[in-house]
Chains A and B, each alone.
Chain A
Amino acid sequence: MKNLFRLFAIICALVVFTVSCASSDESPSVVAADDAPPLEVTDNDNCPTLTLATHDSFFVSDGVFDTFTADTCIKVKQVAAGDAGQMVSAAALTVDNPTADVMFGIDNTFLQRGLDAELFQPYQSELLSTVPEALQLDPEYRVTPIDYGDVCANYWIDALPGAAPSTLDDLIDPTNANQFVTQNPETSSPGFAFLLATIARYGDGWPDYWQALVDNGVSITAGWEDAYYGEFIAGGGDRSIVMSYASSPPAEVIFADPPIDAPPTGVLFDSCFRQIEFAGVLAGTENPIAAGQLIDFMLGTTFQQDIPLNMFVYPANSDAQLPETFENFGALADEPLTMTPAEIEANREAWTEQWVEIVLS
């Protein structure tokens, strides 16, 4: 037995070694932060570090926050934990003792839950003047719009059985029988956005539309990946229409190999639901002023222009320049379908239950 204990001792040593490796891994990044351009504010000791909570899909270019740190001396520590739903639910559970100062990535489908849980404290950024009115959903300024995009059906141009679909009704046309794949609104955010789109369009008649979709052979997957890469032509599937994003065609161009001139996919703009992502100062932060400065930075052009090619959504600040691929192949719906966050939260459960009855029973 003593030998087993000796083995434990060796492993303990190994664990300690691992930890020290981990901490030495961390120190270079601290040094790197100190290597940043000389700070304008000399009062180094009082520079706060803000924690920015995000969802897992949040991504910015290297060093974007360095400009912010150089200008304000405030450091930013990013922490991602799960998808937007996980992030908002976790924040609601920890509202008395938040894990972060600022949250990014709560969207209009989850916004009301965040507001009801009193996650945020108001902050009115001066840069809101650059943001279109339609994106500003909270009159009390508890959250600030940062980016937006459209969730829309995409089609594979060369594989359509008939003409390119142009309206929601084309999806229930027999020509497109067994061609459309979308996601379960209970497990997927584009799937939920599409359910909301049909409710926004057809009102009380939405169950009939979905019944027609079922009769026309719609396929339902759990998430975006298994729809786009599983059943859609893109991944070797046999369906030519998939629920995705208005920005998917530019992504197809940017991440093509060998390079291609034009995307293989097109967007059914009539099906688009607008998704807006917000940032907010979390109630209970010890640094509300610094947190407000971070919101300003995220709405500024440096950060805003970094958004499209990293997260494949559009900057909320209308002064921000779009990259070329977005100018050429990306497009937004002129009149996207929308719904107020309050209406979404109030009916989420009833609608999804009814959807399950119609589509899955």
Chain B
Amino acid sequence: MGVAASALPMVFLAVFFVWPVANLIWRGLGDDISRLGEVLTGERFLRVIWFTLWQACASTALTAVIAAPLTWAIANRRFTGRRVARVLVTVPFVLPTVVVGGAFIAVMDRFGLNDGSLRLRHTVWAILIAHVFFNVAVVVRTVGGFWSQLDREQELAAQTLGATPWQAFREVTIPRLAPSVWSSLSIVFLFTFTSFAVVLLLGGPRRSTIETEIYRWAVTRGDISTAAALSVVQIAAVVALVALNQWLQGGVAATSSLLGDRAIAAKGRRQRVAVAAAVGGTGLFLAVPVVVLIERSLRLGGNLTFENYLSLGDRVRLLPVSALDAVANSLLFGLAAAGIALVIGGMGAIAVVHGTGAIRHMLSVGLLLPLGTSAVTLGFGVLITLDKGWLDLRSSWWIIPITQGLIGIPFVVRAVVPVMRAIDPSMREAAAVLGASPRQVRREIDLRIGTRALVTGVGFAFAISLGEFGATSFVGRSPDQLTVPLAIERLLGTPGDLLRGQAMALSVILMVVTAAVVLVGDRVHPGDGGVL
């Protein structure tokens, strides 16, 4: 079964990722490999590589810390607005960086954080905070989903045997959560490792990462050799770190009894306060920029009005199609990308869990790689590789969801694998002993337990597609294929209050649409008995 399931993901990855990227690197370094040596020894390059690594590590650690309280609350306690909170954390994911950057700066201005020693703008802190803002959802939804399904018997047993709640948490819960935590943090790491617009817009002109350097060399300077050398470094670093992550994870794989939602109602004043603090703290952090954005979308010429929204129905000047058509386009691409991520990511997850030896490891690392690879490398690679016969996808509609799907697949794999690995074989056996048919066992156990993770992953793939602006910008698009992020970018590219207001309104619509789709997705739980 693992072998069968691995075929399609292997072919997909080989054709749409490995081949284009390898081809571009060959084009850049095939004649002259010496550039790679220069990159690895040049002082400026080494500084860039070092900064890329440490800001990604710091962003990931900070994300874990900020996300932890909300993850705990959502996984363990039932409270009013729990489902909504689970959905709303996804919203930052799709917001264009230009818009979020502007909102952040406005917030900083309002609290006087842009001057003197408190200056946040153009510091590394601005990068880290923005990365946390964008990525909290990955931890909250992936780990929170896993945790809420974890049975509490082992903790209770430990406490019965005399452990304090903290000891039980540290000795029993954390090791069981580890696979899911590692999974989600590896995604966050790769996401921040290759972050582009956040570094440019918030980090200021003095900071560059491998990703921004690849763009600078390949696009601004037209030097493909140096860009290819940097890509090699980037991919090698990602492979090394992912392998290290797998190795660390290997030691902690443990089966647990995963069930439906096990959260319990918050009882007593102390617990309610704890939940409120956990939700309110992280929530406030995520909400402030969003509130600023909403306020901006309602402002026109000093007044509060819905004018910016109303005018979106008409064809906006400077956009080839109406803003609503752009929303429809984005939804269409998002659906296709999510479909690809579901099929390839789902099969990939099965192959990683049930597959054997080399194939399993290759897929486990390989399916993560697109997330850690420069959009320039992939975009240009596709241009020079998928250019013949029926594979000439360079100006085809399809290349957009395929590229976005590649980036969404890791989210599916990383959400599903820990859950499937954790299914205790004895649960299946017990169900069979109690008289369940093999079909019932699969439906009641595998599907019921795995679906939530699958839905979480696919939801991210969809959200990524809605907000994606990197690799797809290299793909030729006809004007009527305008997507929402492109429309926002274009509206913000010309002076005028009207255009700016419409860009803000469009960003809010993007948020609302995302939230609505994720909300619907969260409710699709076959046999899940309506929990969460």
Q: Residues on A close to B: CB < 8 A?
A: 1-4, 7-8, 11-12, 14-15, 18-19, 21-22, 25-26, 29, 51, 53, 56-57, 59, 62, 77-83, 85-86, 88-90, 92-94, 97, 99-100, 113, 184, 186-187, 220-226, 228-230, 234-236, 244, 248, 251-252, 254-258, 265, 309-310, 312, 348-349, 359-360
Contact = CB atoms under 8 A, between A and B. Distances in A.
A94 B206 CA distance: 33
A312 B300 contact: no
B442 A2 contact: yes
Contacts of A230: 101-102, 105
Contacts of B30: none
Contacts of B388: 97
A79 B205 contact: no
A256 B498 contact: yes
Nearest to A220: B205
* Chain A at the B interface: SS class: helix
Nearest to A228: B495
A164 B446 CA distance: 72
B350 A4 contact: yes
B447 interface: yes
Contact of B200 (A77, A82, A223, A349): A223
Nearest to B439: A2
Nearest to A242: B495
Contact of A225 (B109, B219, B486, B493): B493
Nearest to A94: B383
B68 interface: no
B258 interface: no
A251 B27 contact: no
A235 B384 CA distance: 40
Interface stretch (B185-193, B332-340, B510-518): B332-340
Given A22-B397, A79-B476, A90 B383 contact: yes
B299 to A, nearest CB: 10
B339 A12 contact: yes
B346 interface: yes
A29 B336 contact: no
Contacts of A248: 495
B478 interface: yes
Contacts of B490: 56-57, 59
Contact of A15 (B201, B343, B475): B343
A90 B380 contact: yes
A27 to B, nearest CB: 13
Contacts of B526: 3
Contacts of A86: 219, 473-474
Contacts of A90: 379-380, 383, 474
A92 B27 CA distance: 12
* Chain B at the A interface: SS class: helix
Contacts of B494: 251, 255, 312
B221 interface: yes
B406 to A, nearest CB: 15
Nearest to A29: B480
Contacts of B474: 81-82, 86, 90
Given A99-B394, A100-B476, 20 more contacts: A3-B442, A7-B451, A8-B347, A15-B339, A18-B335, A26-B397, A51-B395, A80-B479, A90-B383, A90-B474, A97-B387, A113-B222, A186-B216, A225-B98, A226-B101, A229-B102, A236-B109, A255-B494, A255-B497, A256-B496
The 8 A-B pairs of least Cβ separation, nearest first, read: A255-B496, A79-B476, A15-B339, A222-B200, A184-B205, A255-B498, A3-B447, A85-B219
A35 B442 CA distance: 55
B201 A93 contact: no
A133 B325 CA distance: 42
A252 B219 contact: no
A251 B210 CA distance: 36
Contacts of B204: 220, 222
B492 A225 contact: yes
Interface of B: 1, 27, 98, 101-102, 105-106, 109, 200-201, 204-206, 212, 216, 218-222, 224, 300-301, 307, 317-320, 332, 335-336, 339-340, 342-343, 346-347, 350, 379-380, 383-384, 387-388, 394-395, 397, 439, 442-443, 446-447, 450-451, 454, 473-480, 486, 489-490, 492-501, 526
A349 B221 contact: yes
Interface centre among B1, B205, B347 (most CB of A within 10 A): B205
7 contacts: A80-B476, A82-B219, A94-B387, A99-B476, A222-B200, A230-B101, A257-B301
Contacts of B98: 225-226
B220 A8 contact: no
Contacts of A113: 222
Contact of B343 (A8, A100, A348): A8
B266 to A, nearest CB: 34
Contacts of A2: 439, 442
Contacts of A57: 490, 493
Contacts of B473: 56, 81-82, 86
A226 B336 contact: no
Nearest to A80: B477
Interface centre among B220, B480, B486, B495 (most CB of A within 10 A): B495
A93 B27 contact: yes
A251 B439 CA distance: 65
Nearest to B301: A258
A85 B220 CA distance: 6
A81 B101 contact: no
A179 B333 CA distance: 43
A229 B503 CA distance: 12
Contact of A59 (B206, B318, B335, B492): B318
A12 B102 contact: no
A360 B101 CA distance: 21
Contact of A93 (B221, B384, B450, B486): B384
Contacts of A256: 301, 496-498
A11 B476 contact: no
A236 B489 CA distance: 19
A303 B189 CA distance: 48
A298 to B, nearest CB: 16
B383 to A, nearest CB: 6
Nearest to B328: A25
B343 A79 contact: no
Nearest to A185: B220
Given A15-B340, A93-B380, A255 B479 contact: no
Given A251-B496, A257-B300, A4 B216 contact: no
Given A252-B496, A257-B307, A257-B501, A92 B222 contact: yes
A146 B326 CA distance: 29
Contact of A255 (B218, B379, B387, B499): B499
Given A56-B489, A222-B200, A360 B206 contact: yes
Contacts of A187: 200, 205, 212, 216, 220
Nearest to A265: B495
Nearest to B114: A238
Interface centre among A26, A221, A257, A348 (most CB of B within 10 A): A257
Nearest to A348: B221
A4 B345 CA distance: 12
A50 B109 CA distance: 50
A12 B447 contact: no
A71 to B, nearest CB: 21
